[in-house]
Amino acid sequence: MPSRPYPSPATFDQVESWIFDLDNTLYPPRSNLFAQVDQRMGEFISRLLDVDRLEAKRIQKAYYRDYGTTLRGLMSEHGVDPHAFLAYVHDIDHSPIAADPALGSALSLLPGRKFVLTNGSRAHAQAVLSRLGIEEHFEDLFDIVAAEFEPKPARAPYERFLDRFGISADRSAMFEDLPRNLEIPHTLGMRTVLVVGETADGPDHRQAWERLPWEGEAADQPHIHHVVDDLADFLVTLAETLSPEGRPG
């Protein structure tokens, strides 16, 4: 999917808070980190329901589609302890995530408050931010526990997030890799940016986790204001347009 033209300063000049999804947004899908999470979710379901891996994967993806997260489906259908699930599926090797000084530099240039809003756990988010070397740039993060286990794309977690940190939606921007997770931010008045990171290819960089067809649906709808394939470059350009020195005049 090609990136849309970068915005004019007026598009973002009222933004005070910058909100970022975590997985496959702040790091590229080619890292295959989520492949590990995906595998452990399948293992958890297989053991819980005494089904084979194929059936476990079918259940996992059905719950993800219907409930927003696999966890929400397991809680609703099977009364699963969310803390036990999160501890199990996020017990992974985070070393595939490399430090990203370019992203850190870009974030440092961006004026205003910065947050992470994730359907994952705080521990997982902190591990990712630490590996990227960008944790210092974020005021705080809001995880699935803080959302009372109600995930994006539902409206409630966004409203809880905004209320907790005293953020005005119409002075915020949301960065996400899933189009459906930007529908509510658009409705609430946020600027929305879809991040379409580079995926793995070639024999040495196979992407073990594949997106489902429906995950890309609505990427060309009006609730997607901008589409970018290089987050750091976009943020640098954006910061330059927002600074007095960078504006034409």
> In order of start, what are the domains of the chain with their CATH numbers?
9-30+96-246 (3.40.50.1000), 34-89 (1.10.150.450)
- At residue 105, does pLDDT exceed 60? yes
Q: Tell me how far apart the alpha carbons of residues 152 and 25 are, in angstroms, rounded to a whole number.
A: 14
Q: Which of 9-13, 69-73, 186-190, 198-202 has the lowest mean pLDDT?
A: 198-202
Mean model confidence pLDDT for the chain: 87
Q: State the pTM of this model.
A: 0.87
Higher pLDDT, 221 or 18: 18
Q: What is the pLDDT of residues 122-160, one digit of tens each?
A: 999 999 999 999 999 999 999 999 999 999 999 999 999
Q: What is the CA radius of gyration of the chain?
A: 18
E strands within 164-219? 172-176, 191-195
Rounded to an integer, the average pLDDT of 4-9 is 54
Confidence of residue 202 (pLDDT cuts 50, 70, 90): very low
pLDDT at 5: 54
pLDDT at 30: 85
Q: What is the pLDDT of residues 16-46, one digit of tens each?
A: 999 999 999 999 888 889 889 999 999 999 9
Tell me if residue 5 falls in helix, strand or coil.
Answer: coil
Q: Which of 83-97, 122-136, 209-223 has the lowest mean pLDDT?
A: 209-223
- At residue 63, does pLDDT exceed 80? yes
Q: Tell me how far apart the alpha carbons of residues 33 and 199 are, in angstroms, rounded to a whole number.
A: 12
pLDDT at 97: 95
164, 173, 194, 236 from 154: Cα distances, Å: 17, 17, 17, 31
pLDDT at 125: 97
